[in-house]
Amino acid sequence: MMLDLPNELEAQKLLSQGVSEMAMLEPETIRAGNVRFLDGDSFEFADDGQRALIFRIVEFGLERDLVAWSRKLKKLATWRGVAFALGQEAIWNPATYFMGGALEVHRTPLDWLKADRAGICIVQPRLAYSQLGHVERLLCPDEAHARELERWLQPPKPRAEILVEVAA
């Protein structure tokens, strides 16, 4: 696995689209690398793959996952399948909801970066119910995204086969 800093062209493109230098550096510096996007919203590193920006998902000081984003392919995926969202630490931060505040849910990583990483950008929508089901207030940029988020927040159908033990 080879992670680099974004090249000059990648950095300039972000800056020209309204991303601040601080958003590119804090709290974790954006990285870049060549990846191959796989089925199931995952990726692997590949020398002959597509160039993508890489975000480290860190919780409690430990790297939990990596997220790759290809603006060209409009793809967003996790490496280990653990990450739910970019900025996911905001979900559990009491300051997010202080004084009637709401968790901002951005449609794309670019929108999230332009907001200086405030809120989240969902990477794995199938996890929305388990990760956001307790959240009281979510703020979406528009009606279409709000409807999409509402669909993601529906409880999943149980998949487990439930058995009853019968005494002999």
Q: How many angstroms separate the CA atoms of 147 and 46, rounded?
A: 36
Q: How many angstroms separate the CA atoms of 127 and 138, rounded?
A: 15
Q: How many angstroms separate the CA atoms of 81 and 66, rounded?
A: 9
Q: How many angstroms separate the CA atoms of 78 and 56, rounded?
A: 10
Q: Is residue 66 part of a domain?
A: yes
Q: Is residue 20 part of a domain?
A: yes
Measure CA of the first residue to CA of the last residue in the chain; give whole Å: 55
114-147: b (≥16 Cβ within 10 Å) or e = bbebebbbbbbeebbeebbeebeebebeeeebee
Q: Is residue 158 part of a domain?
A: no
Strands (E), 108-152: 120-122, 138-139
Counting the structural domains of the chain, the total is 1
- Written as tens digits, the pLDDT of the chain (168 aa) is 678 899 999 999 999 999 999 999 988 899 999 999 998 789 999 999 999 999 999 887 888 999 999 999 999 999 999 999 999 999 988 888 889 899 999 999 999 999 999 999 999 999 999 999 999 999 999 999 999 999 999 998 888 898 999 998
Segments forming the whole domain that contains residue 37:
8-152
This prediction has a pTM of 0.88
Q: Is residue 164 part of a domain?
A: no
Q: Is residue 1 part of a domain?
A: no
User: Is 76 in contact with 41 (CB distance < 8 Å)?
Assistant: yes
Q: Is residue 166 part of a domain?
A: no
